[in-house]
Structure 1
Amino acid sequence: MPWLAASFLLADRRLWPLAAIASFMFFLTALRLNHEAIHGNLGFRKSGHRLVLHGLSALMLGSNTAVAFNHLRHHRHLGTTEDVEGACGRMTLWQVLLEGPCFPLRMHMEAWRHGGASLRRRMTIDLSSNVMLTGAALATMAPALLYHVGAMIVAQCLTALFAVWITHRECTDEEIARTQSSAVVNFLTYNMFLHLEHHLFPAVPVRRLGILARRIAAAQPELASKAQQVLPPFRIPDAVARIARRA
């Protein structure tokens, strides 16, 4: 919520580059919260997690109910033809950039076709909230609200790149996903790049994946040493690394 508030405030003052950074961070953190709700890791009942998905759908645009359907299939059918979400991981960078605008549409169509009547009803709630937000922006012509709608459309078009391709690119059949050993990078990205660990133990909350990564490295050092990195390693001051690990 602080990132969302900052993006609105900065957009209202026409500080567009800073507003874009705040919007990116809002979308990143919303993706993480959405991801936790999909896996039931927020400590709520099923109805509570569904409410989180609906609320985030209204803010992020699109239907997170559809995202949940495809993401759970991604875990069950990784690397198969039924893995619509993960297909982007097998593309080149230029292919996934071109795929970007089509990716959310394909995810919604797949969920609508195969998700059943109950899921379609929840998708309708999500998409209705999208229409209401967009309608409010057009009716009021409020710069901050218009900016937010535009920023979320752009973010949705880049989801294939940042949420799928970057953590699954160039993985072989034996490699589930990439991970990130840099404590600072994981701190700045809210642990979302510890994707190998997430696929191995999806019931572990994202905020605890750093602990899980250290335990896996201690128990199976050969797995940790062979794991592909999301971002290339770089040297950082030891003091900064210690702060990031504690966080």
Structure 2
Amino acid sequence: MHNGFHNSLGTNRFLTWFTLFSNSVLMMASIHAVKFNHIRHHKYCLSEEDCEGKSAGMSWYGAIFYGPVHMFLIHKITLQIGNRKYVRNVLAELAAIAVFAFIVFYFKIPFLIYHIIIMIAGEFLMAFFAVWTVHHDTEEHPELARTQRGGWKNKITFSMFYHLEHHLFPAVPTIKLPELARRIDQVLPELEKKNTF
């Protein structure tokens, strides 16, 4: 999905859209709303206009408790200030999510009920995992997000914590971030790199 936000999936426009739409249903949140706020996060990083980045200045437990508010706000802001295309996509995704949840609970499909509960819990943790972990204590230089070195940590997180590299070069696909990190280390060894975890 993250590569889809930055049009770096390597697929055509429709397949990129379909990836975001289908993942919205599977993940129980409008991914186009997440995309809208993520693009704004890159533009207004940790400023007042950056809704996605609000939890970065909180304590770790504050970011966890803020999670449900975060999920509500990214949908609200997209519907308020997003263009017609974003609003249309968000409404379509929310409708599809509602239909999916209705079918699952109406027919009482146990493994899908479990899936829905786990996905909602996961979405409520987005403000902590996707924002706080990579941006806390970087307010002085918001463009220099945290990063993660070390093989096994990046393997279990699918290279998603190369966040410094992502902020410097947002269009680089996630799979290429380890190589980008190596190149940055060679060219700018003096660049401050704060660990994610």
TM-score range, shorter chain: over 0.9
Matched ranges for 1:8-27 at <5 A: none
Amino acid at match of 2:133: I
SS of the residue 1:229 aligns to? coil
Does 1:189 pair with 2:174? no
2:131 equivalent among 161, 164, 172: 164
User: Would the aligned equivalents of 1:79 and 1:173 in 2 still touch at CA under 8 Å?
Assistant: no
1:185-233 residue CA offsets vs partner (Å, 9 max, x unmatched): 111111001000000001110001000000000001001xx210001xx
Amino acid at match of 1:199: H
User: Would the aligned equivalents of 1:171 and 1:177 in 2 still touch at CA under 8 Å?
Assistant: yes
1:31-70 residue CA offsets vs partner (Å, 9 max, x unmatched): xxx1010100111223321111101001001100100100
Does 1:86 pair with 2:42? no
Give the C-alpha shift of residue 172 in structure 1.
3.1
Give the C-alpha shift of residue 95 in structure 1.
1.4
The match for 2:196 is: 230
Gapped runs of 5+ residues in structure 1? 1-33, 232-247
Larger helix percent: 1
Does 1:108 pair with 2:79? no
Amino acid at match of 2:49: E
User: Would the aligned equivalents of 1:179 and 1:193 in 2 still touch at CA under 8 Å?
Assistant: yes
1:66 equivalent among 29, 33, 42: 33
The match for 1:207 is: 175
TM-score in terms of structure 1 length: 0.77
SS of the residue 1:193 aligns to? coil
1:80-117 residue CA offsets vs partner (Å, 9 max, x unmatched): 11110011111111211210111110100010000022
Higher RCO (C-alpha under 8 Å, 6+ residues apart): 2
Amino acid at match of 1:71: H
1:130-153 residue CA offsets vs partner (Å, 9 max, x unmatched): 111111111111110111111111
Give me the whole-angstrom Cα distance separating, in 1, the residues matched to 2:128 and 2:165: 20
Amino acid at match of 2:193: A
Q: Which moved more, 1:60-69 or 1:164-173?
A: 164-173
Does 1:38 pair with 2:8? no
The match for 2:98 is: 131
User: Would the aligned equivalents of 2:46 and 2:56 in 1 still touch at CA under 8 Å?
Assistant: no
Report sequence identity in percent. Answer: 35
1:51 equivalent among 6, 10, 18: 18
Give me the whole-angstrom Cα distance separating, in 2, the residues matched to 1:60 and 1:192: 18
Amino acid at match of 1:197: E
Give the C-alpha shift of residue 163 in structure 1.
0.8
Give me the whole-angstrom Cα distance separating, in 1, the residues matched to 2:61 and 2:87: 32
Gapped runs of 5+ residues in structure 2? none
Give me the whole-angstrom Cα distance separating, in 2, the residues matched to 1:152 and 1:110: 21
Give me the whole-angstrom Cα distance separating, in 2, the residues matched to 1:64 and 1:198: 19
